[in-house]
Amino acid sequence: MKAEVGDRLVVADDDDRTGVIIGLQHPDGSPPYVIRWLSSGHIALVVPGPYARIIPAGKDPGSAAPPDRLRDAAGQSAEAS
């Protein structure tokens, strides 16, 4: 999984577990990420699990992202539906 500051992290398609990545711990964009959860504003260091996905900054979470930017926790390109 790779991300950039400003991308969103969505855990298991749960709106309460959606956050904005505000910091990276590694220059290559690999986890863990510093996240600000949208539902509470809480800031946490997160290691995404297997049901998490990254939504690139500026992309509507309800729409399909280009396969090269939407990746699941295993780093595999997600299928656009």
80 within domain boundaries: no
pLDDT at 65 over 90: no
User: What is the distance between the alpha carbons of residues 72 and 81, in angstroms, rounded to a whole number?
Assistant: 14
Strands (DSSP E) contained in 1-81 are 8-11, 18-24, 33-37, 43-46, 52-55
What is the predicted pLDDT for the residue at 63?
52
Query: b/e per residue, 41-62, with b = 16+ CB within 10 A?
Result: eeeeebebeeebbbbbeebeee
Q: Which amino acid is at 75?
A: G
71 within domain boundaries: no
35 within domain boundaries: yes
Domain range spanning residue 16? 8-55
pLDDT at 23 over 60: yes
Sole residue written with tokens 């950039």: 4
Task: List, for residues 32-64, the tens digit of each pLDDT value.
Answer: 999 999 999 999 999 999 999 999 998 765 654
Per the structure, how many domains does the chain have? 1
22 within domain boundaries: yes
1 within domain boundaries: no
